[in-house]
Amino acid sequence: MAPFVFVPGAKWGKYIPMSLAQPIAALPFSRRGACPSLDEPMRTGDGLLARLRIVGGRLGPEQLKAIAQQARQHGNGLLEITARGNLQVRGLTEQSSRLFARAIMGIVAIETGLVVETPPLGGDDPSEFSDPRPLAEAIRNMAQPFAGLLGPKVTIIVDGGGQISLSGLKADIRLVAVAAGRWHLFVAEGTAEELAFSEALARVSELLQQLAGLGPTARAADLVPPSKQSQAQAGSSPIGDFTLRSSVAAGVALPFGSIAAEDLAALACTAGQMGVTEIRLAPHHGLLAIGAGTAFTQRAAQLGFITTSSDPRTRISACIGSDGCASGHIPARVLAARIAAHLPEKTRLHVSGCAKGCAHPPPADITLVGRADGYGLVIGGKAGDTPRTVLQADQLESSLAAR
């Protein structure tokens, strides 16, 4: 057996193969660029933000309700589901974040280590080629000894090819089922390699060990020649009704990825009363209630959730803005809700509290940027680009409708 060495980590440290010891020796205790987590929340304009990596993205209505109540008690009462389907709680303080973390550990199991994502209906979806969960689990187990050597943003997607695919999300390594037991493996933006289960596992192991050897800033793009082809495509919406192997699911989304704790708790309560036993977090700010039907969706609409994929809010990104961020000039989400009905079809809008553009870093068809003197209008660009003109509050609806 290869010799192992103990390497101190951010909290406890771990044993790793001697051959991989060199890169980790350079790792600082608190890794820069790390994603916000429950025990290491990130400072934002409205306090600390904690991201909860709930195991499998699956939890019961009572657990969701309890998390919302803790968010109300310890944070500013706002919860988010990110584009990748992670639950986030905002507005924590140094002190309350510790209490919040302790409370959450008593409510739900939190995942750590290498990020390996699977679609929310994985394993229950009659239209998928292969259940992605066994391969995802095998990758997690295989990577355990050296996961701490990998950069915190290194991500693997295992997609069975079903109704809600993760094709809209970027990944360092992507495995997509193309037939029963057959997988296409993509490294960063590279070309597909078709492999069986065991071959895919071996190849991922090889790639992760190469990345670990390159150190914590390495990403899969460092392993392959640059390509103009982007592997990320438009992802499928989690909104609507889905047929599962032995049940159904009702999918809704959080407007602009955010919802008040009271409304999320109320929806969880409704789900529990309707006999829903499981809720799954979904990409594109979604939430799926397994076994739920029309009555659940109707209640979600009353509470302000998005319940149809034609809702213009699905095409708008907006940060918290001045309602919770010290840098914000405008209450971006409030404004976005006001002007949503005026957004032309097939047009993507980004409403940003300031030029930083946190909610949508890439270009959008239209971007409205909060400024001290009004609303910068950027067409086909990013929030930080020079605006074409600066609008005033009473010009926004007409300006959108004219595009």
Residues in contact with ligand SF4 by the rule CB under 6 A: 45, 319-321, 325, 327-328, 352-354, 356-358
* Least distance (Å) between residue 385 CB and ligand SF4: 14
* Least distance (Å) between residue 256 CB and ligand SF4: 11
Nearer to ligand SF4, 167 or 352 (CB): 352
* Least distance (Å) between residue 377 CB and ligand SF4: 16
Are 63 and 263 spatial neighbours (Cβ–Cβ below 8 Å)?
no
Nearer to ligand SF4, 264 or 325 (CB): 325
* Least distance (Å) between residue 152 CB and ligand SF4: 21
Nearer to ligand SF4, 342 or 356 (CB): 356
Q: Outline where 342-395 has alpha helix (H).
A: none
Encoded amino acid at 76, one letter: N
Are 91 and 75 spatial neighbours (Cβ–Cβ below 8 Å)?
yes
Closest CA to 21 of 3, 38, 33, 36: 3
Tokens read off for 392 = 């005033």
Nearer to ligand SF4, 265 or 354 (CB): 354
Nearer to ligand SF4, 259 or 320 (CB): 320
Tokens read off for 23 = 């890169």
How far apart, in whole angstroms, are the C-alpha atoms of residue 268 and residue 278?
10
Closest CA to 98 of 151, 53, 38: 38
* Least distance (Å) between residue 376 CB and ligand SF4: 12
Nearer to ligand SF4, 293 or 384 (CB): 384
Would the CA dihedral through 290, 294, 295, 301 be positive or negative? positive
* Least distance (Å) between residue 352 CB and ligand SF4: 5
* Closest residue to ligand SF4, based on beta-carbon distance: 353
Tokens read off for 398 = 């007409």
Closest CA to 391 of 382, 380, 381, 400: 400
